[in-house]
Amino acid sequence: MRHFVTETYLTFSRTNSIQDMWRTTIPKMASDHPFMMHGLLNISALHLAFLNPAKRDLYLAPAIRHHEIFLSLYRSKLHDITPDNCSAMFICSSLISICTLAFPICSNNPSPSMPSGYSYRQQQQQFDSPIQLASSLFTLLQGAFTLLRISWHWLEDSAISALLTNRFQFCEVESNAKIRLHSSDSAFRVLMARIESISSRSNLSSSTSSAQPSYSSRHTSPSPLSSEELSAYNNAISTLRDVFILLNSSEADNGVVLIWPFLLDAERGFATLLKEMRPLALVILAHYGVALHASRDDWFIGEWGRNLILDVKKTLSLAADEVELQELMAWPLEMVSNGEGPDKSDVNR
């Protein structure tokens, strides 16, 4: 915990008041909520592993132990949100995002000395694909929107209310944000137009079906959309645009890009469509990769955005005849193809 209150907390925000909250208020809160304490110890150990590659295994072992306990206790509380634990649950939802992304960054090329009681290799295989990592994250946070919705009035009056304003209020966006959003807005309009077009078709050519369809036919051929799917995609694009708006605000803080899973309405089912590797869900995810790549200076994000976009491109290319899917990938690929790629100041120009 010493490392958390001296080093790690500084990486979550550039705002002094929010830094103070992570350094004092949140650790104090964790003393009353064991699941939250394990979450803080988890991310602290991962940060140490990131900073000390030569001693990585020394820090990964406790990180893994704390992570297992953290997730188990967190899940057990999801259906029992109260005024007393809602703040801790909200903080832990944020920590889940950070820990899930940081783990593969910190644990590249693990040694055989990792704890045998943990299915490390299985988890590492899950994270080998950026798409699978995203799907895992979205599944873990599927209840985050519901958590926010039912406890918002409690959180607004809590000790962490400033963190909500820092992360979830869009009213402070700079007045010229709409101008600077031209690039992403154009991409989103193209994406929405194509989705609306697909949803209106009665038939769409697809790969030949069989009793056991190939990977290509299952994952890269869009089919006519149901009203539920259309609703899920509309919700995903609308909330993702909010993330781009916030990224262009002068108030944009470290890790703010990670709020997208929180904004998604779990009842719309985007996380399920992503888990099923639906082509349009993957294309939307690639657009999110642009926002992630603009936030790559955050240690727990790194090159995940670029890798995510390239992974989606590779997956969709398995069906070479799906030209419209490749066209929808043009903007995300363009945004990460030139040199170092965009940063927060030019991602939407």
pLDDT at residue 50, as a whole number: 95
pLDDT of residue 32 exceeding 60: yes
Asked whether residue 347 is assigned to any structural domain, the reply reads: no
pLDDT confidence of 10, banded at 50, 70, 90?
very high
Judge if 161 and 249 occupy the same domain: no
Phi, psi of 192 (to 5 degrees): -65, -40
For residue 159, the enclosing domain spans 2-168
Residues 147 and 187 in one domain: no
Rounded alpha-carbon distances, angstroms, from residue 141 to 105, 122, 333, 343 = 20, 21, 27, 26
126 and 38 in a common domain: yes
pLDDT digits (tens, 9 = 90+) for 148-157: 788 889 999 9
Percent of the chain whose pLDDT exceeds 90:
50
Let me know whether 156 and 183 are in one domain.
no
Whether residue 342 is contained in a domain is answered as no
Q: What average pLDDT does this structure show over 61-71?
A: 94
Longest dimension (CA), the chain: 61
In a domain, 82, yes or no: yes
Hey, what are 253's tokens?
């803080």
Reply yes or no on whether the pLDDT at 49 is more than 90.
Answer: yes
Query: Across residues 123-135, what is the average pLDDT?
Result: 74
Residue of 267, 269, 292 lying closest to 281 (CA atoms): 269
Give the separation between CA 321 and CA 317, rounded to whole angstroms.
9
Cα separation, 221 vs 121, in Å, equals 31
Q: What is the mean pLDDT of residues 226-246?
A: 91
Same domain? 327 vs 251: yes
pLDDT for res 172: 43
Same domain, 13 and 117: yes
The residue that leads in pLDDT, 116 or 223, is 223
Q: Does residue 290 sit within a domain?
A: yes
Q: Identify the sign of the CA torsion 266, 269, 274, 280.
A: negative
**Are 189 and 307 within one domain?**
yes
Choice between 201 and 10, residue whose per-residue pLDDT is larger = 10
Confidence of residue 185 (pLDDT cuts 50, 70, 90): confident
How does pLDDT run across 209-219, given as a tens digit for each residue? 433 344 444 45
Highest mean pLDDT among 3-7, 113-117, 209-213: 3-7
Average pLDDT, the chain: 81
59 against 251, higher pLDDT: 59
- Are 160 and 284 members of one domain? no
Q: Are 258 and 98 in contact, with CB atoms under 8 Å apart? A: yes
Number of domains forming the structure of the chain = 2
pLDDT tens profile 296-314: 999 999 999 999 999 999 9
Kindly state whether residues 6 and 116 are assigned to the same domain.
yes
Given pLDDT bands bounded at 50, 70 and 90, which one contains residue 89?
A: very high
Q: How do residues 248-296 score in pLDDT, each as one tens digit?
A: 776 678 888 998 988 888 778 899 999 999 999 999 999 999 999 999 9
For residue 77, being part of any structural domain is answered with yes
Q: Which pLDDT belongs to residue 338?
A: 64
Check whether residue 20 and residue 132 sit in a common domain.
yes
C-beta separation of 291 from 247 below 8 A? yes
Band (pLDDT 50/70/90 cuts) for residue 319 is: low
In a domain, 318, yes or no: yes
- Please check whether residue 56 is in contact with residue 121, taking contact to mean a CB–CB distance below 8 angstroms: no
For position 11, what pLDDT does the model report?
A: 96
In a domain, 210, yes or no: no
Tokens, residue 138: 């979205």
Distances (CA, A) of 252 to 41, 43, 277, 324: 26, 22, 31, 33
Residues 164 and 189 in one domain: no
Please tell me the distance from the alpha carbon of residue 278 to that of residue 221, in angstroms, as a whole number. 8
**Predicted model pTM:** 0.83
Does residue 137 belong to any structural domain of this protein? yes
Residues 242 and 277 in one domain: yes
Task: Please tell me which residue, 42 or 343, carries the higher pLDDT value.
Answer: 42
Tokens at residue 139, please?
A: 């599944």
